[in-house]
Structures are given as structure tokens and as C-alpha cells.
Chains A and B, each alone.
Chain A
């Protein structure tokens, strides 16, 4: 008979931890599928195209001129770590989407990175102050291994939706599963519903 599993003391389990997640504390694991690219700020660009009134490409200097915002909260990785109470600074994605004018027929977005990584999101999941482009973590430039100079931040979904080294967003009138979504992972990835794998 197997010894009883008791787990760590959880009288004080933090209610901010979704089911199945553990608190990584001060650490921040690096998870990538590819070599870490070296993207220079001055060479970085971010394009929004597809179902918009006028597609547009921003440079580093362009996004620095936008109203910066700092988001503080918890992030959750599908590999079961969560990082609580952590801050990112960047720009609300709504600001960029409003600048290009989203077509009423748009229902989904695909974000892509300079490495070719893609991930899909329903448009409703990135509108209304729920998603950001960020370039600082806790007041410091975002480290290269965490997606610097600029990554997406969609903190209410598992972190594979928060594309590192992000370089564009395309608005579509249909869903187009991305890198992990075509490899057995869930379409949406809500940590509170434990949507880890396809069919969860």
C-alpha cells in the first residue's frame, strides 16, 4: 500500500493559485521551444494587420510614445508554476487595436513572434484591458530569455498565450490554432478551468 500523499502544508494555500498550480516564489522559470533569439530594440517592430481599417507597424520609439501602463498580478504557466504579485509595464493592447480600427467581422487574433511561433486568441480575450505589450518587468528591461525586448502579456490565460519576442498580431474572422494549439494543447487555456490540453 502506497504511503499517504499529504502534500505541502496548505492551510495557507494562497487563494490566488488556480487548481493544480504551485507558487514558484521569487523564481521565474524560462520555458522555450527554440533557441533564445537576439532581438535588438532598434530593429524590433510590431505589426497589426488582417481585418483592420489600416494595418500598421510600430517601432520601439513609436510604442515608447504611447501611454504606458503597469499591470500587477499573477501569471500562470501550463507546466503548473504560478508567479504571484508581479509587475509588467507596457501598453494596453486596446490602444494599438484602436489605432488600426478593428473590423466588425474580426473574431480572433493570431500573435506571432520573430521566431515564427504563433498563438491564437479569441478577440474578446485581448480586448477590454486584458492584454498588453510589455517591455519591463518589475521596473527593469524585460530580459531576453523572457521575451525581451517586447512580449505579449495575457495574464488571465496560461502563459504560452503571452508570445515572447512578439512581432505582430493578425485579426481574422476565424480561429487559426497556433504552435502549441496544434500540438495537443487547449484552444483557450484558462488556468481557473485547468484548460491545459486539447479537450479539457
Chain B
């Protein structure tokens, strides 16, 4: 039954203009194997990254390749049944088969992050579920500009590592902001493609003065046709997206993942 429409000549709902869609072809839900079950992962290695961040390398009984940018959920259960769950981005590339690496920053009042830092060692088990997320992802075959602040660099590092592991098929540029060199994650992995911006303390001899990310920092990184991935705290992400928009990057070419209070 066609509903009366205000426009003359309307054809009923089937004839309405299409709903706006960021990614219109994906309007059907994923049906095949979309359900992810909880599984007990084995902690293979715990790697200290900075004073406040560690990487947990987990072996999964049922592993499937994630898309760089996706996350897993970690579940902790207390003896009385109390549960806490948190999402953590995968830092490792999908070529690292059978395992995932999660980098977790210890938060001042963190319930889960504090437990992981104090209570988890190689040989332990952790209950996880994933991978999840189908928007903040990069498959490696289109130009990408990555802008990360603090631990927001974690999902971007999965993309960076994927880019290297697959022979740099598409152009990639990266900007990483950290307070100081001591707080920079994955410091040995950046090359010419990456701009490092330290806001409070710079390494000796650094050509860039300390200070927050600027348009002048990002301008040389822009790539034609790129998707821009911004990840960090709410203030950082807001600042970075304003810089990109100010440089003429279209809003629909920017994907944002934020965390923290606002």
C-alpha cells in the first residue's frame, strides 16, 4: 500500500529518495559468521612499551584475520560473578597469524587496565571476543593518512604494520603526537612516512619545537584520494579533525575514533 506523499507524483515509499548513506552498498547486515564467541586466549608475552603502557601478545584458539583498525573486547570475571569488559584496539597486523597484540595504557582509575598491568603474566589466560568494528578500518589498498595522539596510535599501528607487511601497496602517511619521547609508543617503528609531534618535551636536536600538532605539520602528509584516520582523546581528535577540515580535506574522507571524557 502506497502512502500519500506530499510531493505530486510520488510513488510511495519505494520511490522515495534514497536514505543518505555513508556507505550505501553496505545496507544489509553481515550474516555470515558475524557472531563472535568469547574465547580464552593464552598470554604469550607481555611487553613493556612505556612507563604506563604494555602490549599483551595473545594466542587465540579460534583466530581469524582482523582488518587493521578493529578491536577486541576483554572480559574479566571476579569469583562472585562480577564482570568488567573493555574494548582494546588490535595493534598487530593480520599477517601475524594465530595471535593478536593489544596495547593497554594504564589509566589512573582504571579497573581493567590496572588489573592487566598488575595481574597478568605470560601463561595466564584472558577471555576475549572479536574482532569488532567495520568503519575505522583500512585494508591496505587505498591511500591513507593516519593521525594519532597518545594511545590513539594503537589501531593506526595495526594499519602501519599491515602496510609494511604487505609491501607498501598504497601510499601511507602518518602523524603521531605524544607528550614526550618517553611516552611515545612503538618508537622504533616509524620511518620517513611519519611526523612525530611532541607537545611537552622534544628529543635533543629535534628540528620541530615542542607544541601541539599544527596545520603546517599535517599539510605535507596529505595524499590525494586518501582516507584520513584520526584516533585519540576527545580534545586531540577534535583538534586534528579541525586541522584536516581547515586544510580542505572533505568531511567524508575523515574517520574518527575517540576515547576519554568529554
Bound Cα distance A178, B3 (Å)? 23
**A46 located at the interface, meaning its Cβ lies under 8 Å from any Cβ of chain B in the complex:** no
Interface footprint category on A? 35 or more
**A190 located at the interface, meaning its Cβ lies under 8 Å from any Cβ of chain B in the complex:** no
Asked whether A184 lies within 8 Å of B30 as measured between CB atoms, the reply is yes
Q: Which residues of A contact B77 (CB under 8 A)?
A: 5
Asked whether B35 lies within 8 Å of A197 as measured between CB atoms, the reply is yes
Query: CB-defined interface of B20-43 with A at 8 Å, one 1/0 digit per residue?
Result: 111100111110001110000000
Least CB distance, B146 to chain A, in whole angstroms: 16
Q: What DSSP secondary structure best describes chain B's contact surface?
A: loop
If A1-B124, A2-B120 touch, does A33 touch B16 (CB 8 Å cutoff)?
Answer: no
Asked whether B3 lies within 8 Å of A53 as measured between CB atoms, the reply is yes
Q: Which residues of A contact B209 (CB under 8 A)?
A: none
Q: From B3, B26, B120, B238, name the one whose CB has the most chain A CB atoms within 10 angstroms.
A: B3
Tell me which of B133-141, B169-177, B188-196 binds A: B133-141
CB nearest neighbor in B for A103: B3
Q: Which residues of A contact B251 (CB under 8 A)?
A: 34-35, 37, 115
Q: Which residues of A contact B136 (CB under 8 A)?
A: 33
Bound Cα distance A200, B134 (Å)? 17
Bound Cα distance A187, B259 (Å)? 24
Asked whether B254 lies within 8 Å of A176 as measured between CB atoms, the reply is no
Asked whether A198 lies within 8 Å of B29 as measured between CB atoms, the reply is yes
Tell me which of A19-27, A68-76, A86-94 binds B: A19-27
**B221 located at the interface, meaning its Cβ lies under 8 Å from any Cβ of chain A in the complex:** no
If A22-B111, A54-B4, A116-B21 touch, does A33 touch B256 (CB 8 Å cutoff)?
Answer: yes
CB nearest neighbor in A for B76: A5
**B125 located at the interface, meaning its Cβ lies under 8 Å from any Cβ of chain A in the complex:** yes
Tell me which of B78-86, B91-99, B157-165, B211-219 binds A: B78-86
Query: CB-defined interface of A3-16 with B at 8 Å, one 1/0 digit per residue?
Result: 11111101001000
Least CB distance, A188 to chain B, in whole angstroms: 12
**A61 located at the interface, meaning its Cβ lies under 8 Å from any Cβ of chain B in the complex:** no
User: Of B21, B78, B121, B234, which is within 8 A of A2 by CB?
Assistant: B121
If A5-B77, A6-B78, A8-B111 touch, does A35 touch B245 (CB 8 Å cutoff)?
Answer: yes
Q: Which residues of A contact B133 (CB under 8 A)?
A: 183-184
Q: Which residues of A contact B244 (CB under 8 A)?
A: 35
CB nearest neighbor in B for A114: B20
Q: Which residues of B contact A29 (CB under 8 A)?
A: 234, 258-262
Asked whether B34 lies within 8 Å of A172 as measured between CB atoms, the reply is no
Least CB distance, A60 to chain B, in whole angstroms: 20
**A52 located at the interface, meaning its Cβ lies under 8 Å from any Cβ of chain B in the complex:** yes
Q: Which residues of B contact A136 (CB under 8 A)?
A: none
If A2-B121, A173-B13 touch, does A197 touch B3 (CB 8 Å cutoff)?
Answer: no
Asked whether A118 lies within 8 Å of B4 as measured between CB atoms, the reply is no
User: Of A22, A33, A51, which is within 8 A of B13 by CB?
Assistant: A51
**A145 located at the interface, meaning its Cβ lies under 8 Å from any Cβ of chain B in the complex:** yes
**B6 located at the interface, meaning its Cβ lies under 8 Å from any Cβ of chain A in the complex:** yes
If A10-B82, A22-B111, A110-B19 touch, does A49 touch B258 (CB 8 Å cutoff)?
Answer: no
Bound Cα distance A112, B262 (Å)? 24
Q: Which residues of A contact B34 (CB under 8 A)?
A: 184, 197-199
**B115 located at the interface, meaning its Cβ lies under 8 Å from any Cβ of chain A in the complex:** yes
Other contacts beyond A28-B261, A51-B3, A177-B27: 6, CB < 8 A = A3-B115, A33-B135, A33-B257, A54-B6, A80-B85, A198-B35
B residues sitting closer than 8 Å to A (CB atoms) are 1, 3-7, 13, 16, 19-23, 26-30, 34-36, 76-79, 82-87, 111, 115, 118-121, 124-125, 132-136, 234, 238, 241, 244-245, 251-252, 254-262
The 10 closest A-B pairs by CB, nearest first: A199-B35, A183-B134, A3-B119, A30-B262, A27-B261, A2-B124, A116-B20, A198-B34, A35-B241, A5-B76
